[in-house]
C-alpha cells in the first residue's frame, strides 16, 4: 500500500511540471513594438489632449510593447496578484516615459475637470493589458525600461527624414516608407493607418517585431505583420 502511494507522488509531480511547461510555452511567441505618430491622433474627429508636462516633441512616441502569437492573435489582461501595476516602480522610468511614451487620449469630462491626458493611466493600461502577459520574461520595471531602450535604439523619424519623408501634411507612398525602414533596420515594418477628421488616410503607427526573449536590441522579422489597412499613399500630418 505504502509503495503504491509513494509512486503516485512523482507521477503527480511530473504531470504538474508538464502542465507548467505547456502554460509557459503558450505565454506568447514574439512582441510587437508599436510606435505612433502623435499628429495622427490629434487631427482625428476625437482630437487629442496633452499631458500636464505640455505638448510632446514632434516625434514618434511609444504606443506599446505587445506580446503576440504567431497566428496574429494576442493574449491580453493576464493580471494576477503578483503582477498588479505598482506606480512606485515607475519613479526612475517617468522622465524618459514622459518624453517617449506620452498619452494623447482626452480625459472623460464626467470623471475629471482636467483637460490633460494622463500618462500614468496609459502606462497602467499598457501594463495591465499587455505587460502582464509577458511577465514571465519582463517584470514591470524591466518591461518599461526595455521598451524605452528600443525606442532610443530605433529613430524612425530620422530614418524617414533622411529619405525625404517629412511630417508636412503631404502624401507619401506606404511602399517607400516600408522600404526605407527595411534599408535602415534590416526588418519589414507593419504600417497602420487611421483617418483624419476629413476622412484622409494617414500614417498612424509603425510596428516592428522583437524576439520573445527580450534580449537587447533583439528585433526580428515579424512572424506575421499586423493587418495592413493603408491605401498606397498616406498623409504624414504636421505635429
Ligand atoms: O487596434 C486597436 C487596439 O487593439 C489592440 N491591439 C491590436 C492589435 C494587436 O496585435 N494587438 C493589440 O493589442 C491595441 O490596444 P491598446 O493597447 O491600445 O489598448 C490597439 O490599439
Q: Per-residue pLDDT for the chain (239 aa), expressed as one digit of tens each?
A: 444 454 555 555 555 544 444 444 459 999 999 999 999 999 999 999 999 999 999 999 999 999 999 999 999 999 999 999 999 999 999 999 999 999 999 998 777 778 999 999 999 999 999 999 999 999 999 999 999 999 999 999 999 999 999 999 999 999 999 999 999 999 999 999 999 999 999 999 999 999 999 987 799 999 999 998 999 999 999 99
Containing 70, the helix (H) or strand (E) segment is: none
* Three-state secondary structure of 16-68: HHHHHHHHHHCCCCEEEEEEECCHHHHCCCCCCCCCCCCCCCCCCEEEEEEEE
Using the mean position of ligand 1's atoms as its centre, give its distance from the Cα of residue 21 in Å. Answer: 27
Helix (H, G, I), strand (E, B) or coil at 202: strand
Q: Residue 12: count other Cβ atoms within 10 Å of its Cβ.
A: 9
Alpha-carbon Rg of the chain, whole angstroms? 21
Index of the ligand 1 atom closest to the CA of residue 76:
13
33: closest CA among 151, 209, 192? Answer: 209
Based on the residue annotation, tell me whether 153 is a catalytic residue of this protein.
no
Which residue of the set 87, 98, 125, 126 is catalytic?
126
Q: Are 77 and 128 in contact (CB under 8 A)?
A: yes
Q: Are 37 and 203 in contact (CB under 8 A)?
A: yes
What is the DSSP code (8-state) at residue 172? E
Do the strands 190-195 and 171-173 form a parallel or antiparallel pair, or are they unpaired?
unpaired
What is this structure's pTM?
Answer: 0.89
Pocket probe for ligand 1: among 103, 129, 209, 227, the residue whose CB has the most ligand atoms within 8 Å is 129
Amino acid at each position: 500500500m505504502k509503495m503504491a502511494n509513494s509512486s503516485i507522488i512523482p507521477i503527480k509531480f511530473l504531470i504538474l511540471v508538464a502542465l507548467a511547461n505547456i502554460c509557459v510555452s503558450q505565454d506568447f511567441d514574439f512582441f510587437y513594438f508599436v510606435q505612433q505618430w502623435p499628429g495622427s491622433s490629434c487631427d482625428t474627429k476625437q482630437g487629442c489632449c496633452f499631458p500636464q508636462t505640455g505638448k510632446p516633441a514632434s516625434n514618434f512616441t511609444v504606443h506599446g510593447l505587445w506580446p503576440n502569437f504567431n497566428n496574429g492573435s494576442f493574449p491580453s489582461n493576464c493580471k494576477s496578484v503578483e503582477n498588479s501595476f505598482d506606480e512606485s516602480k515607475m519613479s526612475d522610468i517617468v522622465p524618459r516615459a514622459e518624453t517617449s511614451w506620452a498619452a494623447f487620449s482626452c480625459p472623460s469630462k464626467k470623471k475629471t475637470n482636467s483637460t490633460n491626458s494622463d500618462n500614468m493611466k496609459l502606462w497602467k493600461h499598457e501594463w495591465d493589458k499587455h505587460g502582464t502577459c509577458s511577465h514571465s520574461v519582463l517584470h514591470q520595471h524591466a518591461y518599461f525600461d526595455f521598451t524605452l531602450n528600443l525606442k532610443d535604439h530605433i529613430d524612425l523619424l530620422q530614418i524617414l527624414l533622411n529619405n525625404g519623408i517629412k511630417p508636412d501634411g503631404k502624401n507619401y507612398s506606404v511602399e517607400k516608407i516600408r522600404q526605407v525602414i527595411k534599408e535602415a533596420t534590416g526588418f519589414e515594418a507593419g504600417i497602420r493607418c487611421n483617418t483624419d477628421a476629413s476622412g484622409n488616410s494617414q500614417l498612424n503607427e509603425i510596428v516592428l517585431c522583437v524576439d520573445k526573449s527580450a534580449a537587447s536590441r533583439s528585433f526580428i522579422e515579424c512572424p506575421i505583420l499586423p493587418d495592413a489597412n493603408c491605401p498606397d499613399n498616406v498623409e504624414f500630418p504636421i505635429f
